[in-house]
Structure 1
Amino acid sequence: MAHGEGSHPQVGNAKHNVHVMNISTGKKVKGGSSKLTGRVLALSFDAPGRLLWAGDDRGSVFSFLFDMATGKLTKAKRLVVHEGSPVTSISARSWVSREARDPSLLINACLNKLLLYRVVDNEGTLQLKRSFPIEQGSHPVRSIFCPLMSFRQGACVVTGSEDMCVHFFDVERAAKAAVNKLQGHSAPVLDVSFNCDESLLASSDASGMVIVWRREQK
């Protein structure tokens, strides 16, 4: 499920559909449905709420133009990340850091890599910028941009991994992008989430365990 501005949440399902819903009536909005090539596994809006990306279990990411006033959804672009590799996570960011002002998309797709794409136009066309090594072959691993990246040097992203670790990467480093690794899980790490000031990070794994990590004060 994704939610832009207004009262129209978006949902994806196993029947390959993306639907815009009216939150007041619980019904689908006219003109607010579209079909993907596979089961919808990931959804993410850009910050203004005008572009929606959806990823499916066959390796495709679609962009949609969203009319906030009417709830209408218009299919714009399709990118095949890798044929047959499920797209398990999409995270959008308007700009990554003070040095990298391009809108960006962070994608997990069961390729043993975390993928960072640049958004190159208003229709959501994607261009691969960088990739980072992780272990992900089959589990629905998710990743996020760090919320405070615009206020410091560099720009970090965080991802789960099937090696039972939480990985941090600086997307602006040309070499040695891995900056931290948290160990403590005994199963593949599936999801990660920061609080708003990055003082706490929660990570969850395939065994049902959730660990809350506290940032060390320097």
Structure 2
Amino acid sequence: MEVEIGVCGDEKDEEKKKKSKDPEFLSCMMQPATAESDPQYVGIRRILLHRKSESGAISRRYDWRCNGKGYVAYRNFISRPRKWENLRTPSLLSSPGNSGRWLPSPSPLSHQFEAESFTSSRDLRSVNQVSSRRASFSSSLSDGEHPYRSGGVEHAYSFVGMHCIFDQCKSSVTVLKFGHMSSDLLAYGASDGTLTVCSLSEEPSVLKQLIGHSKDVTDFDFSSNNQYIASSSLDKTIRVWELSRGVCIRVIYGVSAQFCIRFHPVNNNFLSAGNANKEVTVFNFSTGRLIKKLMFDGEVTAMDHDHTGQIIFCGDGQGTVYSVSMDSHTGSLSRSHRHRTNHKSAVTTVKYRSFSLLASGPVLLTCTQDGNLCFFSVALQIKGYLTLRCSLKLAPRIHRIQASFCPLLSLEKGEYIVAGSEDSNVYFYDLTKPKHTCVNKLQGHRFPVMCVAWNHGENLLASSDFYGVVIVWKRAKTSS
């Protein structure tokens, strides 16, 4: 009899445990004790409590599944910071917010947009709202509720999912690029000093891991034939790598941290680098010898060449953007134009594009660490004179987050920009739409997205985050 009583006791305990976890039981227990309670209030309270317990279970299942990548998701789940959900919930002041004028009372959909304000040097006429599909595998809105769907037509960048994921890196991926005119050669540098070269063919794989830098890789660039990579680092060195053998063939030692580096687009024997000593230096690729250097007002944190190789565009640690003339034969430098801004934050992105419909000519994109994205038209006839066409105020960044053009789509209509963000999403913006600038969002990362890069055909977009995960997104084929 004692055994039977023990079994019955165990069964009762199990029933109690089940009841204590049952949402219906919880709802009943939380009801007001008085019989005169308002039945409408009681019903609403029961519904809310029931939904709350269900949403917690769904959230846990989603966290652990993460689109079928079980190990990666579980590793990120157990290693995430404490109170992660609270950290991911943005405040009203620094949240994505409305991408047009900031309203005192945000709309219910305002959390979907990452831009805070939009300013333009002229009146940009707002065209029809661009509809888009979010590329995440879970959505908080149904198809009928999506703010950018109209008549079942999808514009902007639509994605069909993830092409592949690289997660072997154990530290933050600080820079990410595709090979020159390449659709399947990808490389990325990390804060542990490593450079990883990958192939994105039918079976994505890691080709080489280049180890040599002792501190963060801040930037790198492919040569025009993709046979070499030149990289810069906080360890004050520039390294040149031969990809076929995966070895470092030259080390150039500097006196300060190296922040950015570029091959000359016409004469690949020239390497231009910006450093913490407020200099842009030009090196001979074959010998490693210093050819020329030019001083600036602040640390040179980002740079890019124009397509002719005659102008270098630089950004410094105080938010100033410079145009520098360069001789393609001798490598000599001369500063020709300077554009100062009101904000004193480091420039994280400088991207040149040879043609834009919005500006009817070459354009320059810059992004600063405090979230100011600027779009300039470039006058090549007067040595790269910059005219600000429009600017976009994003949420302030803690990390060195970068942005990029979307060239192919921008040739059709609009001017599209893609950027990472602190809230772990990848955002797309159309600079021709002052009121509804954000047109799409990709969800898949769990940590701040540091870098984004397109391949040559723009059918693949790569993004990297603060914890070393690189996701390659596959863009949907358009009917056109």
Per the alignment, in what secondary structure is the counterpart of residue 111 of structure 1? Answer: coil
| Closer, same or farther: CA 102–174 of 1 in aligned 2, 3 Å | farther
Contact 1:142 1:192 in 2 (8 A): yes
- 1:217 paired residue number: 477
Supply the AA of the counterpart residue of 1:158: V
Contact 1:64 1:75 in 2 (8 A): yes
**How much has 1:156 moved relative to structure 2?**
1.5
Contact 1:96 1:103 in 2 (8 A): yes
Query: Among 158, 180, 195, which residue is 2:455 paired with?
Result: 195
**How much has 1:60 moved relative to structure 2?**
1.4
Which one has a larger percent helix, Structure 1 or Structure 2? Answer: 2
Supply the AA of the counterpart residue of 1:26: G
- 1:78 paired residue number: 338
Query: Among 115, 127, 142, which residue is 2:387 paired with?
Result: 127
Per the alignment, in what secondary structure is the counterpart of residue 436 of structure 2? Answer: coil
Which one has a larger percent strand, Structure 1 or Structure 2? Answer: 1
RMSD value, Cα: 1.8
- 1:17 paired residue number: 279
Query: Among 413, 419, 432, which residue is 1:159 paired with?
Result: 419
Question: How far apart, CA to CA, are the structure 2 residues paired with 1:147 and 1:127?
Answer: 20
Per the alignment, in what secondary structure is the counterpart of residue 187 of structure 1? Answer: coil
Worse-superposed segment, 77-86 or 5-14 = 77-86
Note the residue ranges of structure 2 that are not aligned, 5 or more in a row.
1-260
**How much has 1:173 moved relative to structure 2?**
3.3
Question: How far apart, CA to CA, are the structure 2 residues paired with 1:115 and 1:28?
Answer: 32
Question: How far apart, CA to CA, are the structure 2 residues paired with 1:83 and 1:150?
Answer: 28
- 2:465 paired residue number: 205
Give yes or no for the alignment of 1:118 onto 2:380. no
Worse-superposed segment, 69-78 or 175-184 = 175-184
**How much has 1:174 moved relative to structure 2?**
4.7
| Closer, same or farther: CA 34–45 of 1 in aligned 2, 3 Å | same
**How much has 1:217 moved relative to structure 2?**
3.0
**How much has 1:132 moved relative to structure 2?**
2.4
Normalized against structure 2, the TM-score is what? 0.43
- Report how many residues are paired: 215
Overall identity of the aligned pairs, in %:
36
- 1:28 paired residue number: 290
Normalized against structure 1, the TM-score is what? 0.90
- 2:355 paired residue number: 95
Give yes or no for the alignment of 1:169 onto 2:429. yes
Contact 1:64 1:76 in 2 (8 A): yes
Question: How far apart, CA to CA, are the structure 2 residues paired with 1:154 and 1:206?
Answer: 30
Supply the AA of the counterpart residue of 2:323: S
Q: Which has the higher contact order (CA 8 A, sep 6+)?
A: 2
User: Structure 2 matches for 1:49-88, cutoff 5 A?
Assistant: 49-88=309-348
Contact 1:105 1:118 in 2 (8 A): yes
- 2:182 paired residue number: none
**How much has 1:147 moved relative to structure 2?**
3.5
- 2:400 paired residue number: 140
- 1:104 paired residue number: 363
Worse-superposed segment, 124-133 or 14-23 = 124-133
Per the alignment, in what secondary structure is the counterpart of residue 91 of structure 1? Answer: strand
